Chain A
Amino acid sequence: MTEQNILMKIRDLSVTYTTRLGDVSAVDRVSFDIYKGEILGLVGESGCGKSTMGKALMRMIQPPGQITGGQIIFDGEDIMTYNDGQMRDFRGRKVSMIFQDPMTSLNPVQRVDEHIVEAIQVHEPKTKVEQALERAGTLVRKLGIQKRRMNSYPHQLSGGMRQRVMVGLGLVLNADLIVADEATTSLDVIVEAKLADQLRDIKEEFGVSLLVITHNIALVAELSDRVAVMYAGHLVEIGDVEPIFDDPLHPYTKGLLKSIPNIKLDENEDLYKMGGEPPNLTHPPSGCRFHPRCPYAMPICQKYEPELAEISPGRLVKCWLYLDHPEKEQETIEVPA
């Protein structure tokens, strides 16, 4: 991928929550790129910092949380330097967000069309209501919502429709990146499949990029072009979907993929359960944060933190198995390109 294809560059982004028990580094020096017109899946366990990551991309972290460092470069500008007014304009127009629970992500006292008209008018205050309604109408038709539903209240819509309205809110201002934070989690599988299809269509049609945050690995495999795996606030592996699912490199990714229930499992075979517990992020383990649970752990793993290094083209892994170090005794695994 060339420099021009990069939509958003995230460099050393850190988010810390200040609690009475100490500082929790929910996201720790994470760097990656989001390309134009791709669907990037972000997976990981609950509490690994996925959602925090998504919110941080829009600088929506609320106290007691705080972005403690790093850069988010969008269109050549670091949005960390934006003031409140610029930030408001950025949100919605450049990046928008779809939330976990469609049942509560729409204002219960506003009709669907009011939501969309408001979104337009916030960013383009001169737009007349009729024009805004027309734009909303076209968009909503593309999303497969009947026009007569435009003046329904959110509670009159099903979960799938609400989620589509949320998608519409993200699209109406021609945002370049849509962050879908567990957008399909509370939908049933049929509606989820429909929405996934629709998201892909939207990507084709509008050329937006999507960051799909989920713990549903199957959905990511189906939907995404690339996938990023997070563990305990660190990004441990990122690369194209197929290589990662065919041959996961990071031990955590391996374990994660093995934990997926599979209909082909026979009676004698148990589902793989990863040993240990997710670490307490007020006192993260030294070195590689995964080493206490890692079946391949080496002495070096608890001493030094590995870098997220490009092992093969487009494939980055943060693991000592694939890196050299003077103190390392074991052999480094070479990954063929």
Chain B
Amino acid sequence: MKKLKTTEETMPNPEEAPQWLLDLDKVGFVRKLFLARKWYGGDWWFVAISGVLLIFIIIVGIFPQWFAPYDPRAEVGPSLLEPGEPPASFQLITRVDQGDIQLRDIANRDNNIGFIIGSAASQAFREAVDTLNETAPEGVRYQPRQQRYEYLIEGFDSLITGEIDGFIASPDELGETLAEFPQLQLTGTLREEGERGFVFGTNQIGQDVFSRIIWGTRIALIVGLSSAVVSLLIGVPLGLISGFTGGPFDRVLTLIMDSLYSFPGLILAIAIAAVLGAGIGNIIVSIAVLYIPTYFRIVRGQTLTVKEELYVEAARSLGTPKLKILAKYILPNVIPSVVIIFSVNVGDAILTEAGLSFLGFGLPPDTPDWGIDLARGQDYVRRAWWLITYPGLMVTLVTLSFSMLGESLSEILNPRLTEQ
């Protein structure tokens, strides 16, 4: 008899779940993420990477001023600088017989200044004149005329003959040529060589590409998240009600949603955006309309399945009211698929937004936005690869991290998956 008792004690109770399985539910959210690898195989790093990336992107979107070195709308440097290339310096060349003079002395309305066609010297020149005007005494206005030359030698000849009063060129353009003209001298530097270049280069109007991308994150997140939230808030309740009640209401709603769904996405968005007109709010609305049927269809389908489940019937057999069944039994069991669509949807909405801006619908033309940057950069694909590469990369990255995170989170937070 005694022996029997000991065997009973040592025998594992077949109804006991393993302790680690029970422990899983007692931990907090963060710890859960770490414990996730227990049942999520090696893919937990997937979540970690996309999570960190997204948090960073969101911080960037909220506080772009912390990260962007320049104003995204301002012309901050020479146009089309390669990433990392420092802006070149420019020097003023005058005749020796003019003596020791400055730009100020030859910058009157009747003076002529020359430079090579297509050189960034024109920009440096304009900047220098602007600086002069700022410090000029009352009533004095500097505005020399510009002369453009195809070759450096041509310009030097004009300078020697006195047709122009000065010439502007960068050290690269000058090369060794100045040594061959003893009548000419270097009198000053219009712009120092920049110590550092622009991380992602500059675009065709001299705006910093990096700053524009940083500020573009804000627009992308605002449009992506709010349009996804709007379509979720409309699509999910409609799908729940439609699936749960059934009947003619369900038929009509499904018909409407299916007809919306059958439009090619971008074209529908273009049509709505064209009707609504420009503005960030209108863009959000037109993208939201696009994704309502996606939520509706998935949620309705899931509701149809879940409402046939035994636990819903069990709830009815306990007298649970319909609204409570919908809120506590059907909705929580539908949520996992909503989370997945939401995450994919945010990425997709960002892509659509970029597409709309690319086609010129919606946002004002100078907005720092990835889609607009892509559209403007495509004219320079051969000369300036950096104009389209970086915005394109950002769109890809954000889209990818949203869908990666959504998919893996839904797997981790789903209590049913711990079974396997």
The 7 A-B residue pairs with the shortest CB-CB distance, nearest first, are A91-B319, A92-B318, A92-B319, A97-B317, A109-B332, A88-B319, A158-B15
| A40 vs B415: C-alpha distance when bound (angstroms) | 38
Residue of A nearest to B331 (CB): A109
- Is B55 interfacial (CB 8 A cutoff)? no
Measured CB to CB, the nearest residue on chain A to B18 is A156
A160 CB contacts on chain B under 8 angstroms: 15
Contact of B319 among A93, A106, A108, A151 (CB under 8 A): A93
B415–A106 touching, CB < 8 Å: no
CA distance A110 to B418 in the complex (A): 15
Given A156-B22, A160-B15: A60 touches B318 (CB 8 Å cut-off) = no
B258 lies within 8 A of chain A by Cβ: no
Is B380 on the interface with A (CB-CB < 8 A)? no
- Interface status of A155 (Cβ within 8 A of chain B): yes
Residue of A nearest to B329 (CB): A107
The one of A106, A122, A151, A169 that contacts B321, using a Cβ cutoff of 8 Å: A122
Cβ–Cβ < 8 Å partners of A157 in chain B: 15, 17
A-B contacts, 10 of them at CB < 8 A, read: A60-B313, A91-B317, A91-B319, A92-B318, A107-B329, A108-B416, A118-B320, A118-B324, A155-B419, A157-B17
Q: Are B22 and A91 in contact (CB under 8 A)?
A: no
Check A99/B21 contact, CB under 8 A, given A108-B415, A109-B333, A161-B15: no
Please, how many angstroms separate the alpha-carbon atoms of A100 and B309 in the complex? 12
Docked complex Cα distance between A93 and B318 (Å) = 7
Check A105–B324 contact: CB distance below 8 A.
Answer: no
Q: Which B residues have a C-beta under 8 Å from some C-beta of A? A: 14-15, 17, 21-22, 25, 309-311, 313-321, 324, 328-329, 332-333, 415-416, 418-419
Which residues from chain B contact A46 at a C-beta distance below 8 Å? none
Are the C-beta atoms of A99 and B310 separated by less than 8 Å? yes
- Knowing A92-B317, A96-B317, A153-B415 are in contact, say whether A107-B328 is a contact too (CB < 8 A): yes
Which residues of chain A come closer than 8 Å to B419, judged between CB atoms? 155
> Once A and B bind, how many residue pairs between them come within 8 Å at the CB atom?
90
- CB of B313 within 8 A of CB of A91, answer no
Q: Is the CB of A107 within 8 A of B311?
A: yes
Would you give the shortest CB distance from A224 to chain B, in whole angstroms?
22
Residues of A within 8 A of B320 (CB): 88, 92, 118-119, 122
B333 and A108 contact, CB distance less than 8 A: yes
The residue of chain A having its C-beta at the shortest distance from the C-beta of B312 within the complex is: A107
Contact of A60 among B21, B316, B416, B418 (CB under 8 A): B316
- Report if A225 contacts B (CB, 8 A): no
Residues of B within 8 Å of A93, CB to CB, are 319
CA distance A330 to B98 in the complex (A): 146
- Please state if B319 and A105 are interface contacts (CB–CB under 8 Å): no
Residue from B22, B314, B328, B332 in contact with A97 in the complex, judged by beta carbons closer than 8 Å: B314
B318 touches A122 (CB 8 A): yes
A53 within 8 A of B: no
Q: Are A99 and B318 closer than 8 Å at their CB atoms?
A: no
Kindly state the separation between the CA atoms of A159 and B337 in the bound complex, as whole angstroms: 27
Does any Cβ of B come within 8 Å of A166's Cβ?
yes
Residues from chain A with Cβ under 8 Å of B324 in the complex: 118, 122
Beta-carbon nearest neighbor of A90 in chain B: B319
Q: Given A109-B333, A158-B15, A161-B15 in contact, is the A91-B318 Cβ separation under 8 Å? A: yes
Query: Does A152 sit within 8 A of B, measured CB to CB?
Result: yes
Q: How far, in whole Å, are A155 and B15 apart by their CA atoms in the complex?
A: 12
A109-B415, A161-B15 as given contacts; A104 in contact with B319, CB under 8 Å: no
Identity of the chain A residue whose Cβ is nearest the Cβ of B320 in the assembled complex = A122
| Cα of A260 to Cα of B419 in the assembled complex, Å | 36
Q: Is A101 an interface residue (CB 8 A)?
A: yes
Contact B311 A105 (CB under 8 A): yes
On chain B, the residues within 8 Å of A77 by CB distance are none
Give the residue among B310, B320, B324, B416 with the most A Cβ atoms within 10 A: B310
What is the bound-complex CA distance between A56 and B314, given in angstroms?
14
Given contacts A92-B317, A122-B321, contact A105 B310 (CB under 8 A): yes
CB neighbours of B418 from chain A (8 A): 155-156
Q: Of A119, A152, A156, A169, which is in contact with the most chain B CB atoms at under 10 Å from its CB?
A: A156
Contacts of B315 in A (CB 8 A): 107
Partner of B311, one of A90, A108, A155: A108
Smallest Cβ distance from B299 to chain A, in angstroms? 16
A58 sits at the interface (CB 8 A): yes
- Looking at the assembled complex, report how far the CB atom of A60 sits from the nearest CB atom of chain B, in whole angstroms: 6
A123 touching B319 in the complex, CB below 8 Å, given contacts A108-B415, A118-B328: yes
> Considering the chains assembled together, what is the distance between the CA atoms of A108 and B333 in angstroms?
8
A166-B314 contact given A109-B333, A118-B328, CB 8 Å threshold? yes
Q: Does A242 contact B (CB under 8 A)?
A: no
Whole-angstrom CA separation of A96 from B313 in the bound complex: 11
Contact A104 B321 (CB under 8 A): no
Question: Is A134 an interface residue, CB under 8 A from the partner?
Answer: no
Contacts of B21 in A (CB 8 A): 156
State A101–B314 Cα separation when bound (angstroms). Answer: 11
Residues of A within 8 A of B316 (CB): 60, 91
Are A156 and B311 in contact, with the CB atoms below 8 A? no
A108–B329 alpha-carbon span in the complex (Å): 9
Known: A88-B319, A97-B317. 12 other contacts (CB 8 A): A60-B313, A60-B316, A88-B320, A91-B316, A91-B317, A99-B310, A110-B328, A119-B320, A152-B17, A153-B25, A153-B415, A155-B416
Question: Which of chain A's residues has its CB closest to B15's CB?
Answer: A158
- Residues of chain B within 8 A (CB-CB) of A109 are 332-333, 415
Residue of A nearest to B25 (CB): A153
- A204 near B: Cβ within 8 Å? no
Q: How far is the CB of B321 from chain A (nearest CB, A)?
A: 6
Question: Is the beta-carbon distance between B317 and A119 smaller than 8 angstroms?
Answer: no
